[in-house]
């Protein structure tokens, strides 16, 4: 509930801040007669910016389950599944949150991810490749890492950040397009220029804004590793990350940012730090 209230509060805060700043600027330059158009564009930008992110958040578990054809463990069928459920339940109690659903999906690549609309309605999924290639201690560390994402509310926070970024990108791109297109004399040309410039600006600003999103994504991986190390011990977390070296990330594009397996390259557009950098951080703890 707190995360939902935070989501609503953030939407309102972004709207109010932009509205106040724009009103002040236009009042100073004597352009108050154009404020209505600015406010209309701002409202549209907010709707466009947050609606997609919010819907994706609400449907995240359903989309994730169908994307990898994951099977939720409702009743454990063997000792390994019983241990998985007991371990997740124990970690959830330490975070003081409701136990996430636990699922297994078939893949040769070792990976795991967490998703869900709220901390108390989340899902943790592990691949068969991870369960087969890792020791029990290493799997425990992976579960602790994913539980940290849940406990820290990373899914909601990422949605908030993406919504704010989308709002600013749409608003600025369309405002720039309006300014450029207004210099055209022909109405048909003006409309064509507006749509073309708006399209190009959204791509350009979107790429620049994605650097912010990717930075936070890398930051939350470091934080999840650190939380997992505190929960189960740094040696277990380091061993789990060592085990992931050389393996790929076979998750669908929409889920790759949530997987524990990291990008192989260290770049500003990477969703994860490299495994070596993550291990170095843990070794310094």
Q: What pTM did the predictor assign?
A: 0.78
| Per-residue confidence (pLDDT) for residue 247, from 0 to 100 | 62
Q: CB under 8 Å, gap of 24 or more: what pairs does 231-237 form?
A: 231/91, 231/94, 231/144, 231/147, 231/148, 232/137, 232/140, 232/141, 232/144, 233/141, 234/282, 234/283, 234/285, 236/137, 236/138, 236/140, 236/141, 236/144, 237/141, 237/144, 237/145, 237/282
| Per-residue confidence (pLDDT) for residue 184, from 0 to 100 | 74
| Per-residue confidence (pLDDT) for residue 262, from 0 to 100 | 65
Residue 137: how many other CB atoms lie within 10 Å: 14
| Per-residue confidence (pLDDT) for residue 214, from 0 to 100 | 86
| Residues ≥6 apart with Cβ < 8 Å to 67 | 251, 252, 254, 255
Render the chain in DSSP notation, one character per residue.
-HHHHHHHHHHHHHHHHHHHHHHHHHHHTT-GGGHHHHHHHHHHHHHHHHHHHHHHHHTHHHHHHHHHT-EE-SS--SHHHHHHHHHHHHHHHHHTSPPPEEEEE--SS--EEEEEEETTEEEEEEEHHHHHHS-HHHHHHHHHHHHHHHHTTHHHHHHHHHHHHHHHHHHHHHHHHHHHHTT-SSHHHHHHHHHHHHHHHHHHHHHHHHHHHHHHHHHHHHHHHHHHHHHH-HHHHHHHHHHHTT----S-HHHHTTBSSPPSS--TT-SS--HHHHHHHHHT-
Q: Domain segments of the chain: what residues?
A: 1-285
Q: Which residues of the chain have pLDDT under 50?
A: 1-4, 6-7, 11, 15, 31-36
Q: How would you list the strands of the sheet with 101-105, edge to edge?
A: 71-72, 101-105, 121-127, 112-118
| Per-residue confidence (pLDDT) for residue 261, from 0 to 100 | 76
Q: Does the active-site annotation cover 146? A: yes
pLDDT tens, 49-73?
777 777 778 888 888 888 888 999 9
| Per-residue confidence (pLDDT) for residue 252, from 0 to 100 | 66
Catalytic residue among 81, 138, 140, 146: 146
| Per-residue confidence (pLDDT) for residue 25, from 0 to 100 | 56
| Per-residue confidence (pLDDT) for residue 7, from 0 to 100 | 46
pLDDT tens, 170-187?
888 888 888 888 777 777
Q: How far apart are CA 119 and CA 105, in angstroms?
A: 22
| Per-residue confidence (pLDDT) for residue 195, from 0 to 100 | 80
| Per-residue confidence (pLDDT) for residue 3, from 0 to 100 | 43
| Per-residue confidence (pLDDT) for residue 278, from 0 to 100 | 92
Q: How far apart are CA 221 and CA 145, in angstroms?
A: 8
């Amino acid at each position: 509930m707190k995360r939902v209230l935070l989501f609503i509060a953030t939407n309102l805060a972004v709207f109010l801040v932009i509205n106040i700043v724009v009103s002040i600027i236009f009042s100073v330059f004597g352009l108050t007669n154009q404020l209505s158009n600015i406010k209309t564009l701002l409202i549209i930008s907010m709707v466009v910016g947050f609606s997609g992110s919010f819907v994706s958040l609400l449907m995240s578990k359903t989309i994730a389950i169908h994307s990898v054809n994951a099977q939720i463990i409702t009743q454990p069928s063997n000792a390994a599944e019983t241990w998985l459920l007991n371990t997740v339940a124990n970690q959830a109690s330490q975070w003081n949150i409701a136990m996430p659903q636990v699922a297994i999906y078939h893949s040769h690549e070792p990976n795991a991810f967490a998703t869900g609309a709220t901390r108390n309605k989340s899902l943790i999924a592990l691949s068969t490749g991870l369960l087969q290639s890792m020791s029990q201690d290493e799997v425990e560390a992976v579960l602790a890492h994913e539980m940290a994402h849940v406990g820290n509310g990373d899914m909601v926070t990422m949605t908030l950040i993406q919504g704010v970024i989308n709002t600013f990108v749409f608003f600025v791109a369309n405002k720039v397009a309006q300014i450029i297109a207004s210099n055209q004399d022909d109405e048909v040309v003006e409309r064509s220029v507006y749509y073309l410039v708006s399209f190009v600006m959204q791509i350009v600003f979107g790429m620049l804004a994605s650097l912010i999103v990717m930075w936070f994504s890398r930051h939350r991986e470091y934080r999840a590793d650190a939380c997992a190390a505190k929960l189960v011990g740094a040696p277990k977390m380091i061993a789990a990350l060592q085990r992931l070296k050389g393996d790929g990330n076979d998750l669908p594009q929409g889920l790759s940012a949530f997987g524990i397996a990291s990008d192989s390259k260290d770049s500003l557009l990477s969703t994860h730090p490299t495994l070596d950098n993550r291990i170095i951080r843990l070794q310094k703890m």
